[in-house]
Amino acid sequence: MEVVTTVAAVRERVRLWRAEGSRVALVPTMGNLHAGHLSLLAAARSRADRVITSVFVNPLQFGPAEDFAAYPRTLDEDERLLREAHCDLLFAPPVAEIYPEGGAQATMITVRGLSGILCGQFRPGHFAGVATVVAKLFNIVTPDVAVFGEKDYQQFIIIRRMTSDLLLPVEIIGAPTVRAPDGLALSSRNRFLSPADRAVAPAIYHALRAAVERLEAGDRDFIGIESGGWQALAVAGLRPDYFAVRDAVDLQAPRAPSRELVVLTAVRLGKARLIDNLRLALLR
């Protein structure tokens, strides 16, 4: 695996691969890789001849009071895992390579209607930071396909919409959430949990499952399901930002033509803010 830190080096490598006729996949990450990321890599590998993983903790997507400084940075370990997973190229740029103008990023991408809801309400500017950096990464790598985790479901929907709105020639693939045996979704932020917090964290998955079971049983009292989920989380000692049932395609309220629903939640637990979701198809 080659490790590069500059835009020019990535572009040159991709140019050579293209000349051989190779199909290129990108797995964008912020590092601190775990089994969830490795599943994205496997999905990328099955769709392309060459796989690039980017490791970049993007300052633009963190609010002033958020965990940018504390976000775990484990590049040596990430590099080791990526070598084992047969990644072809690791792109780990310094901040100045992605933001050469310093903190002043005059051009931002906002996916209207999707960026301000759910997590966007609690993390203003977060999704504009994500969409902007992903567009930059697409511009640098020019991948044929890019893989994102469905744990960050709102992010996945936003990137898919941005890619389609901007006519970017990149196929966007969502890879299923990887869970611990007790149901907790794997996340780099799980390392912020104390042992006591970690013990109660599976309540997130249980609350989502209970909501999905009600929906599967035909219950369409969405408000009741949302408040039931909220209550279950609060009783377990978590502090939900939201617990919502939405149309899985556009994240708006469920309505008659909705074919697939998603139940999403974000909770605060100790020092961590955790997100998770479960989807279900509606039988017609």
> Is 206 marked active-site?
no
The residue among 212 and 267 lying less far from ligand PAF, judged by its C-beta, is: 267
Q: Give the closest residue to 67 by CA, choosing from 207, 239, 237, 188.
A: 188
The residue among 129 and 229 lying less far from ligand PAF, judged by its C-beta, is: 129
Under a CB-based contact definition with an 8 Å cutoff, are residues 1 and 87 in contact? yes
Please list the residues that pair with 273 across neighbouring strands.
268
CA–CA gap between residue 121 and residue 154 (Å, rounded):
12
The residue among 150 and 226 lying less far from ligand PAF, judged by its C-beta, is: 150
Give me 153's structure tokens. Answer: 């479901």
**Least distance CB 58 / ligand PAF (angstroms):** 4
Per DSSP, 251 falls in state -
Q: Number of C-alpha atoms within 13 angstroms, CB side, residue 83?
A: 9
Does 130 participate in binding ligand PAF (rule CB under 6 A)? Answer: yes
Does 143 participate in binding ligand PAF (rule CB under 6 A)? Answer: no
Helix (H, G, I), strand (E, B) or coil at 97: helix
Buried-exposed string 67-77: b where 16+ CB fall within 10 A, e elsewhere: eeeebeeeeee
**Least distance CB 92 / ligand PAF (angstroms):** 12
Does 40 participate in binding ligand PAF (rule CB under 6 A)? Answer: no
Does 36 participate in binding ligand PAF (rule CB under 6 A)? Answer: no
Near ligand PAF in 153-182, by CB under 6 A: 155
Q: Which stretch binds ligand PAF (CB under 6 A): 38-46, 71-79, 129-137, 234-242?
A: 129-137
**Least distance CB 270 / ligand PAF (angstroms):** 21
Does 58 participate in binding ligand PAF (rule CB under 6 A)? Answer: yes
Query: Phi and psi dihedrals of 148, rounded to 5?
Result: -130, 150
Please list the residues that pair with 262 across neighbouring strands.
246, 279
**Least distance CB 214 / ligand PAF (angstroms):** 29
Does 29 participate in binding ligand PAF (rule CB under 6 A)? Answer: yes
Beta carbons within 10 angstroms of residue 230's beta carbon: 18
**Least distance CB 263 / ligand PAF (angstroms):** 20
Q: Judged by CB under 6 A, which of 30, 109, 111, 275 binds ligand PAF? A: 30
Does 118 participate in binding ligand PAF (rule CB under 6 A)? Answer: no
CA–CA gap between residue 181 and residue 194 (Å, rounded):
18
The residues annotated with a catalytic role in the active site are: 37
Contact residues: ligand PAF, CB under 6 A? 28-30, 58, 61, 130, 133-134, 152, 155
